[in-house]
Structure 1
Amino acid sequence: MKLRLEKGYDFENAIAQVGYGKYQGLLLAVCGTIYAACAIGTTTLSFVLPSAECDFKLTSADKGRLNATPLVGMVVGSYIWGNIADAVGRKWGLIAALLMDSMAALSSSVAQSFPLFLFFRFFNGFGIIGATSIVFPYFSEFLAAKNRDVMLCRLEVFWTVGVISLPGIAWVVIPHSWRLGSVDTFSFTPWRMFVALCGVPSLTMAMILLLFPESPKYLMTHGKMDRALVVLEGMFAINSGLEKSDYPVKALINPGQIHRASTKHEPRLRKLTIRLGAIWRQKKQLFSPPYLRYIALTCFADFGLMFSYYTLMLWFPELFERFGQFQEVHPDQPAGVCDVTSIVVQGAHNETTISASCDKPIDDKVFLYTVIIGLSCIPTSISLGLCINKLGKKFLLIFSFMAAGSAALGLNLVKNLTQTLILSCIFEALTSTTEVIIFCVIVELFPTSLRALAMSLTVTSGRLGAIVGNVVFGTLIDLNCIIPIYTFAGLLISGGFLCMLIPSKGQIVPSLSSPPMTPLGSSFKMDACDIR
């Protein structure tokens, strides 16, 4: 039975009256495409590594720095986009992030020096983290509580679609051998066109998003009830086929409305003191028992996960390209990843070999293998929503970490390309959904007043792990490949053991009765965690 409040409907009751239908399906297509564009932007450099090597004369260490640079942008931008999303709204924050991503991609495609290319890729990561973070709360704020879990799991599938689409785009564009301009002045090659094309989806979706409204929950939270009611009436009309005037809700209320006017006439220093005091109380609570143990667990787990996942995801095309070079010289000779790397590196010191490899396009099999790895993520992406409640988050985390760590360990033990591809598929399929499970665990471990900050710290730890992983892998892959491979395995397996310490629901400390103290820039993350 719907609860009718005395002075109006709150958000959950109002959105329930809207119904579930065409509007949510249309928004899923739009937000899903945005999320796929984020996946494309995040993984673009995986095909730039083998392609741009000759133009920029990249060493393996340079490639590691190149992969790490957008991740640095993500770390820097994560909190800033929270402020933007709170200040100007989900819609305009999302549009701004998509535009920054597309402009950075287009600018980097014409950058003629490696430092300038790194500069633009930093802003690529800065924009992507904004779009990735905001799209979930924006979409969720058009959904009733009973539909959120299912729709958010469906949204996750679009990330896999983006990962699969990327090698397809690369396969069509990069293998060509044309060049516009001169190497000494301005040069535009197929891999540069590929980088530019990867920015087009973000630009397109930013334009399409102009046709959609701000989320009704954001409008209600900020006291804009009339505008929120107009949005809800439009959704109702599309879903039901009736007139907007037939929408039964005529007034809205929000008990959790943000009242900014209370400090409107306060001096700036006083307002800053109040804000800093709230943030300090929140952080002090987070770093006290039992939450200190919980945050240490989630941060370490995400650090190890992203250290391994983002590094190998971005280096897989480069590794398969090295396998191709190895098999040309040593056909039918058994070798693992590290064996191939050491032999290819030894041959790379020969200038004739370098010249020949620069003149030859990337092997088509590299694109095919990357597509296969992307396809391997579909079953886990689809089944996650079905299994997470039946098997439990703790079991899935332990299994995913342990199995992915074993797959990473096996990369140095297998002795042919087929076995390496199989292990790569297992690794990618498991790790691609593990972070989502960590987010779900955060929702259970932390009360509402701490959840946003816990989420922010965990995500930041993960991105720092990705930065360190790419730098370490790029530095050591040519010197001692075994060390990073075993580090991947060790961190993942350790994360699995650590996840055994996650308390069951009955052992979790109940949410504290203190009111939420969400710092500016974190409220949008809290919404994303709540529904994931």
Structure 2
Amino acid sequence: MATNLRGSTPPSPGDSSPVADADAERSPLLMDSKKVDVLPLEAALTLTGSGLYTAYVTFSAGLALFAGMCNMQMMSVVIPVASCDLNMTSTQKGFLASAAFMGITLSSHLFGFLADICGRRAVLLLCTFTIGVISLLSSLSPTFVVLAACWFAIGFMTGGIFCPAYVFISEYCPQNVRGKCILIASAMSATATAYLPSMSWLIVPLNIQVPLLGNLVFTSWRLFVALVPLTNFIPMFFLYTLSETPKYLLNAGKGEETLELLRSIYSVNKRKPKEEFPLQKVQLDHFDEICQQKEEVGGNPILRMAKKMLVQTAVLFSSKFILYTTTSSLMMIGVLGIYNSFLLWMPEQTKLMLLYSRNNTDFKATMCEVMSHEIEFENTVGSCDLNRNKFPPSIAIGMAQCVTFLLISLIADKVNKKYIIVAITGIPAAAAIALIYVDKLILIVSGIGVIVVFLLTAYPVCLSIAVESFPTSHRSTAASIVLLFGRLAATLGTQFFGYLFHHYCQTAYWAAASVLLGVIIVSVSSPLKRIDEQKEKSKS
């Protein structure tokens, strides 16, 4: 399959001839039966159709996203056991839990820029391999300092997975299935929420004591940490069989290589010979063409790279793109800020509710009554135990997220994405308000689950809007900047809402609902119309 999926024609500089985008996009499907001289890339992608090749790209990127989610969530599953083995303090446990998140926050901008310069596939291969090696080494960490350093490095390199993977899908898939493919890949990544607790449930309780060097003993939690990196090596094989994206190749001036790749996609998707691909030449879309930058030559390569990174970033805040950058960032800030706050506090809140229900057969208390300590009960859960009670809810939420992604993927390319965002952020906003008043255990746990499930679903939808609002040469950088703001909001939001949950609980839920309402207002009034304009052109 590798031979078919990767173009075999040697790269050569591409040539573009003037043609109106509107005319080219008006009837690309009608051109499938006759040879065409030249088309913009978006219309050329439409000619390739969707089929096995598109599914293979989506599956490959989905595996990378799944590995990224495993990297970010792995340590949180085994911290209670690992902390006892390495004699960690509460402060050290808190730092370890956030080490990977700090790493990905610091690196997302850098890897977004590198994906624009070096290629999406190149960055994905580098990061998945490096993370796999570091994760294996981390299973042998003799001290807290070594383990924390490894997990910071894993988080740092994971910054090169999420943005490039979504851009990789977006630039390989034609417009009519792009949203569906992004959501299907996201559904694959969501299964990590169920996969990790299941693996931990099976492996960590095992009685494993294998003495190694010095005082280092290989135990069950180390086995778990050693096995999870396999999720990083698997997508490497699939990604290796693929080429860089057509848009990246064409933007790099490799017109013949791009055309050969399009022929391969056409052949696999439509099960026809490459020679039947009805296109002689491909050129950049008008939006990408006017934004293409000239490569600077000469000078110190490090300074040249730094200067290009600054220029690449500054363009996003120029008068041409500032509105797109601002609205995309505001939506991501609201979605990731609230999602991460509820996700991290969900185990604590669920545990408190379950403990109260054990001591009170007639459950009659709101979430805020429990969080504000108006209800007294005895906490019987030891800090060093693997708390299996939280695994079933985590597994259920992971499966619910996967199903929700798949259901929304059915309408992703048929409904305006703004309306989708209104629905999948409006439902969590209503659930946040309901949690202030409901006093039934099943309703409270379900309400928290609804917020977490739907907001994770909103994340790739918001990111796909951001990705398609910028030209190819700035796409990964833009996505990384948007995610950077979202992750900063998630970090601050966790601390802010943690304080509110314990001291001003009702205010916390009203604040969460207000932020999500703000996301709805921004999405409805945003100027992100390029995607819809392209769809209208293709229909006309």
Scaled by the length of structure 1, the TM-score of the pair is 0.76
| Cα offset, 1:458, TM superposition | 3.2
- 1:182 and 1:486 map into 2 onto residues whose CA distance is 51
The match for 2:513 is: 493
1:264 aligns to 2:297 (yes or no): yes
1:126 aligns to 2:159 (yes or no): no
More displaced stretch, 381-390 vs 198-207: 381-390
Checking the alignment, whether the CA contact within 8 Å between 1:140 and 1:152 is kept in structure 2 is yes
Aligned partner of 1:141 among 150, 171, 175: 171
The match for 2:264 is: 234
Counterparts in 2 of 1:221 and 1:323: CA distance versus 1, 3 Å: same
- 2:329 and 2:101 map into 1 onto residues whose CA distance is 17
Q: SS state of the match for residue 141, structure 1?
A: helix
The match for 1:285 is: 319
Query: What RMSD in Å do the two structures reach over aligned CA positions?
Result: 4.3
| Cα offset, 1:371, TM superposition | 0.9
Aligned partner of 1:428 among 448, 452, 455: 452
Counterparts in 2 of 1:406 and 1:172: CA distance versus 1, 3 Å: same
Render the CA deviation track for 1:435-482: whole Å, top value 9, x for unaligned. 3343466579989999877654432121012222445677x5xxx852
1:176 aligns to 2:209 (yes or no): no
The match for 1:375 is: 399
- 2:249 and 2:69 map into 1 onto residues whose CA distance is 29
- 1:184 and 1:410 map into 2 onto residues whose CA distance is 55
| Cα offset, 1:226, TM superposition | 2.6
| Cα offset, 1:250, TM superposition | 3.9
Equivalent position amino acid for 2:99 in 1: T
Counterparts in 2 of 1:209 and 1:458: CA distance versus 1, 3 Å: closer
Q: SS state of the match for residue 252, structure 1?
A: strand
Checking the alignment, whether the CA contact within 8 Å between 2:432 and 2:451 is kept in structure 1 is yes
- 2:128 and 2:347 map into 1 onto residues whose CA distance is 26
- 1:137 and 1:444 map into 2 onto residues whose CA distance is 9
Structure 2 matches for 1:43-58, cutoff 5 A?
43-58=73-88
- 2:312 and 2:62 map into 1 onto residues whose CA distance is 35
- 1:300 and 1:270 map into 2 onto residues whose CA distance is 31
Checking the alignment, whether the CA contact within 8 Å between 1:36 and 1:162 is kept in structure 2 is yes
More displaced stretch, 296-305 vs 169-178: 296-305
- 1:277 and 1:460 map into 2 onto residues whose CA distance is 18
Checking the alignment, whether the CA contact within 8 Å between 1:111 and 1:117 is kept in structure 2 is yes
Equivalent position amino acid for 1:181 in 2: P
Equivalent position amino acid for 2:123 in 1: G
| Cα offset, 1:337, TM superposition | 6.3
Q: SS state of the match for residue 8, structure 1?
A: strand
- 1:164 and 1:146 map into 2 onto residues whose CA distance is 30
Aligned partner of 1:201 among 231, 244, 249: 231
Equivalent position amino acid for 1:119 in 2: A
Structure 2 matches for 1:96-495, cutoff 5 A?
96-181=126-211, 185-254=215-284, 256=288, 263-264=296-297, 280=314, 283-285=317-319, 291=323, 299-317=329-347, 320=350, 330=359, 332=361, 334=363, 339=370, 358=384, 360-363=385-388, 365-386=389-410, 397=421, 400-401=424-425, 403-405=427-429, 407-408=431-432, 418-439=442-463, 442=466, 455-471=479-495, 481-483=501-503, 488-495=508-515
Q: SS state of the match for residue 457, structure 2?
A: helix
| Cα offset, 1:367, TM superposition | 1.7
| Cα offset, 1:214, TM superposition | 1.9
- 1:238 and 1:118 map into 2 onto residues whose CA distance is 45
Counterparts in 2 of 1:491 and 1:450: CA distance versus 1, 3 Å: farther
Checking the alignment, whether the CA contact within 8 Å between 1:73 and 1:126 is kept in structure 2 is yes
Checking the alignment, whether the CA contact within 8 Å between 1:68 and 1:471 is kept in structure 2 is no
Checking the alignment, whether the CA contact within 8 Å between 2:426 and 2:520 is kept in structure 1 is no
Structure 2 matches for 1:28-107, cutoff 5 A?
28-58=58-88, 61-107=91-137
Q: SS state of the match for residue 160, structure 2?
A: helix
Render the CA deviation track for 1:3-53: whole Å, top value 9, x for unaligned. 699863432343333332221122222222222222222222331233334
- 1:18 and 1:181 map into 2 onto residues whose CA distance is 57
- 1:144 and 1:187 map into 2 onto residues whose CA distance is 52
Give the gaps of 5 or more residues in structure 1.
512-532
Q: SS state of the match for residue 138, structure 2?
A: helix
The match for 2:536 is: none
Checking the alignment, whether the CA contact within 8 Å between 1:301 and 1:495 is kept in structure 2 is no
- 2:325 and 2:203 map into 1 onto residues whose CA distance is 44
- 1:509 and 1:429 map into 2 onto residues whose CA distance is 25
Q: SS state of the match for residue 193, structure 1?
A: helix
More displaced stretch, 427-436 vs 241-250: 241-250
Checking the alignment, whether the CA contact within 8 Å between 2:116 and 2:474 is kept in structure 1 is no
Scaled by the length of structure 2, the TM-score of the pair is 0.75
Counterparts in 2 of 1:376 and 1:56: CA distance versus 1, 3 Å: same
Counterparts in 2 of 1:482 and 1:304: CA distance versus 1, 3 Å: farther
Equivalent position amino acid for 2:196 in 1: L
Checking the alignment, whether the CA contact within 8 Å between 2:109 and 2:484 is kept in structure 1 is no
- 2:54 and 2:392 map into 1 onto residues whose CA distance is 34
- 1:462 and 1:429 map into 2 onto residues whose CA distance is 17
Counterparts in 2 of 1:88 and 1:456: CA distance versus 1, 3 Å: closer
The match for 1:517 is: none
Checking the alignment, whether the CA contact within 8 Å between 2:169 and 2:178 is kept in structure 1 is no
More displaced stretch, 237-246 vs 27-36: 237-246
| Cα offset, 1:408, TM superposition | 4.7
Counterparts in 2 of 1:332 and 1:186: CA distance versus 1, 3 Å: farther
- 1:250 and 1:78 map into 2 onto residues whose CA distance is 38
